[in-house]
Amino acid sequence: DAGVIQSPRHEVTEMGQEVTLRCKPISGHDYLFWYRQTMMRGLELLIYFNNNVPIDDSGMPEDRFSAKMPNASFSTLKIQPSEPRDSAVYFCASRPGQGNDQPQHFGDGTRLSIL
């Protein structure tokens, strides 16, 4: 079975540009999560969705960040305008159903560099 698929794997762009990260969760998974990983702050949860509905976006750093999930098989994380401090690895994860014993499955991440 295909795992969580993220694109692009690497993105290098200049500050001020719009960046769009994409994620395809595992089919049948009800939850989708976006994380950011940096050396300084470690792994941070940005936002998560349940059945395509955003449930908690308290981790989104500021209004420049937005996330959507138009259907069960696709989500985007957008940064507009981008800043150098947004440079990080962004991970998408998904998991099935209710209950806290279900593990999250992670994609390979998008390594974002803002110059």
Partner 1 sequence: GDSVTQMEGPVTLSEEAFLTINCTYTATGYPSLFWYVQYPGEGLQLLLKATKADDKGSNKGFEATYRKETTSFHLEKGSVQVSDSAVYFCALSDRRMGANYGGSQGNLIFGKGTKLSVKP
Q: Is 100 in the site for partner 1 (CB under 8 A)?
A: yes
Q: Which is nearer to partner 1, 71 or 98 (CB)?
A: 98
Q: Is 50 in the site for partner 1 (CB under 8 A)?
A: yes
Q: For residues 95 and 42, is the Cβ–Cβ distance under 8 A?
A: no
Kindly give the pairing relationship between strand 10-13 and strand 110-114. Answer: parallel
Alpha-carbon distance of 25 to 19, in angstroms, equals 20
Q: Is 103 in the site for partner 1 (CB under 8 A)?
A: yes
Among 34, 75, 88, 109, the residue binding partner 1 under the rule CB under 8 A is 109
Q: Is 99 in the site for partner 1 (CB under 8 A)?
A: yes
Q: For residues 33 and 45, is the Cβ–Cβ distance under 8 A?
A: yes
Part in contact with partner 1 (CB under 8 A); list of ranges 14-22, 48-56, 61-69, 70-78: 48-56
Q: Which is nearer to partner 1, 45 or 72 (CB)?
A: 45
Alpha-carbon distance of 48 to 46, in angstroms, equals 7
